[in-house]
Amino acid sequence: MDFLVFQAPMLTVQATLDGLLLGILFALIAYGMALQWG
């Protein structure tokens, strides 16, 4: 049970970080396209 208690927060943090990185990457790509095509 203790293992689950420690495992769940780590998975949540991992998922949050992955989502954040994807969001930043997507924003940068969209920003680059906007600059390129005006």
Q: Which spans in 1-38 are helix H?
A: 2-37
The model carries a pTM of 0.62
pLDDT at 1: 55
When divided into structural domains, the chain yields a total of 1
pLDDT at 8: 79
Express each pLDDT in 1-38 by its tens digit: 566 667 778 889 999 999 999 999 999 999 999 999 97
pLDDT at 11: 86
Direct distance between the N- and C-terminal alpha carbons of the chain, in angstroms, rounded to an integer: 55
SS3 call for 21: helix
Rounded Cα–Cα distance for residues 10 and 18 (Å): 12
Dihedral (Cα; 10, 11, 13, 18), 10-degree rounding: 140
Q: Which domain holds residue 20?
A: 4-37
